Structure 1
Amino acid sequence: MKTIQFFYLISFLVAYATARTVKFGLVAFGTTAKVKINDLSYTMTRPNNKDPYFILTKEIDDNEIVYKYIIDDKEEEFYRTLSVGVSTTHNEFFGRKDTVKELPEFNHPEKDSWTKSIGKTSLFDDSYIPTVHIYGENANNTFTTGSASVVKRVAFILKDDVVIVKNAALYTKNRNWDKFQFRLVMNYSNGDMTGVYGRYVLKFRDNNEDPTFFRQKLYSDIMNTIGAPTIQTIFARVYVNNIPVGLYVLQEEAASESFVRSAFHGDNNGNFLLNDYNELGHPLDCATGSDFEFIEGSTYSTFKSSNTTRYNNSRIAALNKAFYDLNASNDEEIENFNKEWFDIDSFLKAIALQYLTGHWDSYWFYSTNFAVYDDPTESTETTFKFYFICQDWDGTFGLNINPIYTRYADEEFTTISYKRYVNIEWGIDSYDAPHRYAIDKLLSNPKIHARFEEILTSIVKYIMNPKDFSVRLDAFVERFRDEVDFTFNVIPWRKGTEIIKWTMDDFERNINYKGRYGASYGIKEFIYKRASFINEEFQLGLDLGENIYENIKECGQGFGKCSDGKCCSQFGYCGSTDDHCRIAKGCQIGFGLCNEEEEEDYNLPIIESSTIIEPGINEAPTEGEAHTFTFPVIIHDSTNTIIPSIPTNTIAIVEPVIDSSDINIIKPTSTIYSSPISNNESIITPTITQIVQSTKTIVNPSTKTVSSSIKISTTGLCGPEHGICPDNKCCSKYGYCGTTNDYCGDGCQSNYGNCSLIPTKTSNLINTSLPISSGICGAGIAVCASGLCCSKYGYCGNTNDYCGAGCQSEFGICYSTVTTVTNLVVALDKSTPTSTNGRCGPSYGACTKSGYCCSQYGYCGKTSAHCGVGCQPLYGLCN
């Protein structure tokens, strides 16, 4: 008996010793949240009813566990894993597969050399994507009208904690855009400077002019890597009263006491070394016309104090007088000037990067958009040690670059030496300074000149070259693509006057090549061309790889699609003429519009029969073999517009009354709510799509078998005579490659492309207790109007982005996956070229490393993002 008791005691102690307590955290929009662990579900709690944040602390065994989240009975479409010994999931976002992802960093010999800051803290942790939630009626009004206000409550949901700030001031800027920039001042009401880990003034940059969304963050990363004092930057989603505003670039504000304290007075480990704000130096915001040229009697009004109650800009006059008195040919004077008045090395790093990236909206090219700070720990009663701080990096890497600023209109900017910007007259307009006094004077010293070129070339050697730069940029594409897609599809709270509307086609193209509007260089194109010139000018001997940036097309295979309803000609240019749009003249289907009436010239088959062939998964189709199944009928009208069939009866749906005293989330641009809100019921008479079931037959046109050596189409055509569609596109029943339902639905040829999406009937599952919307949708909000799908982000639409992966079938129609193309390729064609730069696909070749997959976006890797949905089996492994 004692032996048995002892055995149970040992078993209990072993089980207890191998158990662990795990905290689950979830950001999600819904009423009820659960975590499903090894097929058992546990209800999560909500610490605050305002925040879309749920937690669960549970004791589990110390084996690896598999789990997923459930919101209002909607399960995630994938499972997550928690490794042995891990005690937290961190704060996960519903539907986002990677909660924490360490991205490859830039490297440089002087990396981590700036040690005076408090560090990034969890606010600027690059491995995580935070969300910022702003609440209150004032917040609602601000994002509707663009006016400043004091907002009731702001919640920062970070990787492992939630920081709440109350009664913060919100100032707006760039209101000509739908989604404007804003600044959050958290010490406005009560002087509390706690903020978020001591940072209490933050800017949310709208980033509206960059189709990639990456330029500002990349610039910030380089500044950090080369050891310059700089503002910290991260991507963050913003929601107002739990309605999305979009993705923002969250930054510190350079000309603020909040920033200079965190950047100059920390132990590099999260702690401040200076706690009395009255002991800080004087951060100055330098507006257009700011320079370091001494002018007797000048008030230097462009150097603006950020806190006029504590100080003015008088110290800048002393600095400029010291510049004037400096004998730049005397090395000893230079050394003393660097020690007592002006940190030369950080200035050289800042201007080197301005030149290299074409940062035309700052000191070198337009005497504007920088800050200066005198550090009291390095100053005396008679000398003030200043630091130069660069900011506002939206116009970089070739974006909106203009010869007005870069001066030489007849030459490509990337081929102009920095030497041609030294000792020249400026004064671009009446606001610009006439010279660049600090650059001209300091670079006249041979040692400083040599140091500047050392900094310049080292940035190119270690960072701004195609090989090293692409490692981080490609990681950005994989990590943040869904975030950019999210912000491009957010319904704006208001309408601005700007007309630029980016799409994911713009995003994909401008990573590599020139895009629309001011995106005059692709990011990789700019890096290659800039590195190529510096490599030649300084004889660096760098291997830059193949130049793929000559004869760049506007559209077509490898270049992307035409926008604005234009056609892609056979030569790869966008336009609207017959030469662009006629199929007979080579219009590239799938890369823009094409005139469909030309199809008769190709004797395309007219399908009249009543069955569709569906070959077996592991066998080739046989001529004449047929299989019958049902599918929804799509009717075409006389204008070739796809329209659903309509029932004869009309249903009136009563929208529930919305009480404005309970919630203040009015969006005038949304069709959910009647406007203005009243106590009257709104009657909506929607158009309901009737799903008609039918059968058809398509006789297979070929007896060819499918093999691993089948060719890839390069013409936009597909099928037995033309080959497989590239880039995971569908092959339509008429033999054309594309991605819409016309290609991927009825009659799609699964042996010659992807056929994963067809419409499915979901009307019986749709929640009918909610109002009807053509805007936002989801649990507790609304269902989409007839014929529309509710995307994973909660928006109504009818494209694959809305109706495909993540589509919420309870709140609209959805596409369903009916087949996989596992029989398409069994092995790589030996004639397929191999990739040499980490890219893959029709334009690059196959991944060379064993076990690597080619993602749908053309990058080699081994993660689920590479090997899962959209993986290209012709160019690597796939799950």
Structure 2
Amino acid sequence: MRITFLSGLWALASSIWADVTCNVIGFPDILNGTYAVEINEKLYPLTTSKASFPLWSAKIPGITAPSSYRYVQLNHKNNVVAREKFLRHLTNKPATLNEFFNRQDTILTVPSIKQVYSDVRPKNSKPIDSSQIATIHITADPAQFTDMMYNPMDLESKAVKAGFKFINADTVYSADEVKIKVSGHASRKFDDDMGQTFFGRQAIKLRAEFTEPTMMREKLYLDLLNSIGVASYQGSYLCVYVDGKPYGFYLMVEDIDEDLLMHTIHHDTIRDKVSLRSLHQMGSSGIATMQYKGPLTANYNPRMYENKILGDNPENEPMQQFIAFMKDLRDWDPNATGGVAFWNARLGLKGFLRLMALEYLAASWDNYWYRGHNYFMYFNPQRKIWQFIPTDFDHTFTIGNHLDVETTYREFAHISLANSTEDRPLVTKLIYKNKEINKEFETILRTITEEVFNTKALDARINFYEIQIEQDVAWDFSIDRSKLPGREYGRTKCGQPN
């Protein structure tokens, strides 16, 4: 009898009427458009404000759970002009997630990838969430923003100040004033210049992936870096709107700066930026192979060997410590014994070998092994070694017309060197010429191939991303950018240039 009585109470509780707050992210595509939620065929208006837009909300009284609902768009006469074609389902929670109008799934279960080596990802990655697509809304002076967009290569132009709002399923972050500027060749960069940080990050980058029609290569490469224990930035997808208008679909990634070093490299064991040491960036517009060219900073192209953090270097010689590393690389005899011990004392060797194995496997033809650029070198004061930090992965898994991935790793180097005037000494001297390091590299290569770099391990994740982003990629391709400067690839349905 006691069990029956409790079951009766549970049945009664499940049908109690309660207030439910419904939340939808929406950008009306008609003048004075608004949103409402339709529950059991009854409409309830949603409201927003200058402070909360584009999030529309309302507390709906006396709703039983479970109930079916969907969002609708209304015109200025409160007539329905657009209705979601699918039904959502209320639970017994007091509020819905922050859902996006016409996107059926707010959060999806991401298929797992095996953790082959120790996980080095930071614990503090709240805005980076592969299970959902977030939204950024930017409000800026139209004239200033337009000027920035029409002059993307103007290196003297100042960053545009703008309002910034980030919304995902359970988070709303707002900043009244941030700086937005063109960064690199195809991305936008956000800097918080008001003394606050975006979940512990002073800057983020929005990568347009304009050379990559699937928009999955870089994200999958980041997943693989995580799987094999190589530290780099994290990233997840989002849609961007500017002043309420569609702007584009991006991969939001962390910037490689002091914040990333503290969170990702040092895992918050260093909290004072002054304690960070030398950081150098090797860009994407030339070659920075780490060949020793002399003892002075002036011997090296500052555009390709850019000092980002001075560290222990004198101000007039910002590359002094890194030059000493390159000299050790030049002077080291790869035929000598003890190669692993020698480089373990100077370099995060295991992480570097894992990274090079992945660069080869994924035909990463725009990074160190193949092109000699797109990486950072950081001197870790806790480990007292240099760490190789990779960046920019939109040109991974080939770009559709490269067959390098079908060859051996030794031939891969021959192909890359045939297209260059400079050697890659960290590859040729360590991986090719030193038998001890080569043996460790081949073990790593075999392990990665068997454990994670195969269709059995990756197909589910690839299929997941295809389904997750299909609607938003189509939305991105529908945006008219014909009047903006830039390169047009003219993609066909299969992603190849016409």
Query: TM class, shorter-chain normalised?
Result: 0.7 to 0.9
Which secondary structure does the structure 1 equivalent of 2:206 belong to? strand
Q: How do 1:757-776 residues align onto structure 2 when only pairs under 5 Å count?
A: none
CA distance in 2, matches of 1:174, 1:281: 24
Q: Give the counterpart of 1:357 among 337, 351, 362.
A: 362
User: SS of the counterpart of 2:447?
Assistant: helix
The separation in 1 between residues aligned to 2:147 and 2:438, in whole angstroms, is 53
Q: Secondary structure in 2 aligned to 1:236?
A: strand
* Inter-CA distance 161–331: structure 2 relative to 1 (3 Å threshold): farther
2:145 corresponds in structure 1 to: 139
DSSP 3-state at the match of 2:358: helix
Contact 1:360/1:401 (<8 A) preserved: no
Residues 143 and 494, structure 1, Cα contact 8 Å, conserved in 2:
no
Provide, for residues 237-277 of structure 1, a one-character-per-residue CA deviation record: whole Å limited to 9, x for no partner: 111111111111211223x22322221132xxxxx333221
The answer to whether the Cα contact below 8 Å between 2:228 and 2:354 also exists between their aligned partners in 1 is yes
Q: Pick closer, same or farther for the CA change 1:425–1:456 going to 2, 3 Å.
A: closer
Whole-angstrom CA distance in 2 between matches of 1:142 and 1:362: 28
1:168 pairs with 161, 178, 189, which one? 178
**Are the counterparts in 1 of residues 25 and 101 from structure 2 also a CA contact under 8 Å?**
yes
CA distance in 2, matches of 1:106, 1:289: 33
Confirm whether residue 129 of structure 1 aligns to residue 139 of structure 2. no
Structure 1, unpaired ranges of 5+ = 1-9, 267-271, 380-384, 403-411, 518-879
1:439 aligns to what SS in structure 2?
A: helix
The equivalent of 2:393 in structure 1 is 393
State the one-letter code of the partner of 2:218: Q
CA drift at 1:425: 9.3
Cross-structure match for 1:369: 374
Relative to 1, partners in 2 of residues 1:400 and 1:479: Cα closer, same or farther, differing over 3 Å? closer
| Contact 2:14–2:65 (Cα < 8 Å) also in 1 | no
Counterpart in 1 of 2:437? Answer: 448
How do residues 776-855 of structure 1 correspond to structure 2 at under 5 angstroms?
Answer: none
CA distance in 2, matches of 1:481, 1:342: 41
Partner AA of 2:120 in structure 1: T
The alignment status of 1:105 with 2:105, answered yes or no, reads no
State the match for 2:455 in structure 1: 466
- Contact 1:46–1:53 at 8 Å: present in 2 too? yes
The Cα shift of 1:186 comes to: 1.8
1:251, 1:131 → 2: CA distance? 14
CA–CA distance in 1 between the matches of 2:312 and 2:19? 50
In the alignment, which of 499, 510, 516 is matched to residue 497 of structure 2? 516
CA distance in 1, matches of 2:110, 2:231: 22
Kindly tell me: are residues 313 and 165 of structure 1, through their superposed partners in 2, closer, same or farther at Cα, counting changes over 3 Å?
farther
What are the equivalent positions in structure 2 for 1:339-738 lying under 5 Å apart? Answer: 340-379=345-384, 385-399=385-399, 412-421=403-412, 426=417, 428-429=419-420, 434-443=422-431, 444-492=433-481, 494-502=483-491, 506=493, 509-510=494-495, 515-517=496-498
1:43, CA displacement in angstroms? 3.1
- Alpha carbons of structure 1 residues 416 and 45: separation in structure 2 relative to 1, 3 Å: same
In the other structure, the counterpart of 1:314 is 320
Residues 444-453 or 386-395, more deviating: 444-453
Query: What are the Cα deviations for residues 311-338 of structure 1, in whole angstroms up to 9, with x where unaligned?
Result: 7333212322343455656665633541
- Quick one: which amino acid aligns to residue 488 of structure 2? I
Partner Cα distance (2:111, 2:342) in 1: 39
Q: 1:65 to 1:446 in 2, by over 3 A?
A: farther
Structure 1 residue corresponding to 2:247, chosen from 245, 251, 255: 245
> What displacement does 1:145 show?
4.4
How do residues 737-752 of structure 1 correspond to structure 2 at under 5 angstroms?
Answer: none
The structure carrying a bigger strand percent of its residues is 2
- Map Cα deviations across residues 798-836 of structure 1 (whole Å, 9 max, x no partner): xxxxxxxxxxxxxxxxxxxxxxxxxxxxxxxxxxxxxxx
Equivalent position of 2:4 in the other structure:
none
In structure 2, the residue corresponding to 1:306 is in which secondary structure?
strand
Determine helix, strand or coil for the equivalent of 1:250.
strand
Q: Secondary structure at the match of 1:476?
A: helix
* Contact 2:20-2:63 at 8 Å conserved across structures: no
Alpha-carbon distance in structure 2 between the residues aligned to 1:332 and 1:82: 64
SS of the equivalent of 2:188 reads strand
Aligned residue type for 1:27: I
Would the alpha carbon gap of residues 378 and 62 (structure 1) be closer, same or farther in structure 2, given more than 3 Å must change?
Answer: farther
Answer yes or no: is the 8 Å Cα contact 1:165–1:195 preserved in 2.
Answer: no
* Cα drift, residue 387 of structure 1: 0.9
Change in CA separation of 1:60 and 1:129 when aligned onto 2, cut-off 3 Å:
farther
Q: Distance in 2 between matches of 1:421 and 1:285?
A: 25
Shift of 1:435: 1.4
Given residue 287 of structure 2, which amino acid in structure 1 is its aligned partner? G
SS at match of 2:382: helix
Q: Distance in 1 between matches of 2:458 and 2:417?
A: 32
Q: 1:345 to 1:23 in 2, by over 3 A?
A: farther
Cα deviation, residue 305, structure 1: 1.8
Structure 1, residues 699-719: CA drift from partner, whole Å, max 9, x if none?
Answer: xxxxxxxxxxxxxxxxxxxxx
Residue identity opposite 1:139 in structure 2: F
How many Å separate the matches in 2 of 1:251 and 1:12? 46
Please give the alpha-carbon distance, in whole angstroms, between the structure 2 residues aligned to 1:165 and 1:310. 35
Deviation (angstroms), 1:358? 1.5
CA deviation profile, 1:284-324 (whole Å, cap 9, x unmatched): 11133323344442424432122569973332123223434
Letter in structure 2 aligned against 1:419: R
Q: What amino acid does structure 1 have at the position aligned with 2:132?
A: Y
Corresponding residue pairs, total:
464
The answer to whether the 8 A contact 2:339-2:434 is kept is no
Instruction: Summarize deviations over 1:755-806 as a string: whole Å, max 9, x none.
Output: xxxxxxxxxxxxxxxxxxxxxxxxxxxxxxxxxxxxxxxxxxxxxxxxxxxx
Partner of residue 103, structure 2:
96
User: CA deviation digits over 1:565-618, x for unaligned, max 9?
Assistant: xxxxxxxxxxxxxxxxxxxxxxxxxxxxxxxxxxxxxxxxxxxxxxxxxxxxxx
Instruction: Decide which moves more: 326-335 or 352-361.
Output: 326-335
**Contact preservation (8 Å) 2:348, 2:387:** yes
Matches within 5 A, 1:244-263: 244-254=246-256, 256-263=257-264
1:665-686 CA-to-partner distances (Å, cap 9, x unmatched) read xxxxxxxxxxxxxxxxxxxxxx
Instruction: Please state whether the residue corresponding to 2:210 is helix, strand or coil.
Output: coil
Task: Look up the match of 1:275.
Answer: 271
In structure 2, runs of 5+ residues without a counterpart are 1-7, 75-79
Deviation at 1:62, TM superposition (A): 7.1
Name the CA distance, whole Å, in 2 between partners of 1:366 and 1:461.
Answer: 27
State the partner residue of 1:26: 24
8 Å Cα contact 2:365-2:398 kept in structure 1: no
Residue from 123, 140, 149 that aligns with 2:159: 149
Structure 1 Cα separation of the partners of residues 428 and 348 of structure 2:
16
**Could you tell me how far apart the structure 1 residues matched to 2:373 and 2:356 are?**
13
- 1:451 to 1:257, Cα distance in 2 relative to 1, 3 A: same
Distance 2:485 2:9 in 1: 67
Aligned-residue offset at 1:41: 3.4
**Per-residue deviation, 1:14:** 6.3
Say whether the 8 Å CA contact 2:276–2:311 is kept in structure 1: no
How far apart, in 1, do the equivalents of 2:270 and 2:282 lie? 25
Partner Cα separation in structure 1 for residue 307 and residue 400 of structure 2: 29
- Equivalent in the alignment of 1:323: 329
**Corresponding residue number in structure 1 for 2:200:** 198
Match of 1:76 in 2: 84
Cα distance in structure 2, aligned partners of 1:16 and 1:495: 55
SS in 2 for 1:378: coil
User: Taking structure 1 as reference, are residues 367 and 418 closer, same or farther at Cα in structure 2, changes over 3 Å only?
Assistant: same
Provide TM-score, normalisation by structure 1. 0.49
Given candidates 109, 114, 123, the residue that maps to 2:119 is 114
Distance in 2 (CA, whole Å) between partners of 1:46 and 1:424 is 57
Match of 1:285 in 2: 281
Residues 10-49 of structure 1 show CA distances to partners (whole Å, capped at 9, x for unaligned) of 9899659967665432100234332233334333332535
CA-CA distance at 1:93 after TM superposition: 0.5
Say yes or no: does 1:159 pair with 2:169: yes
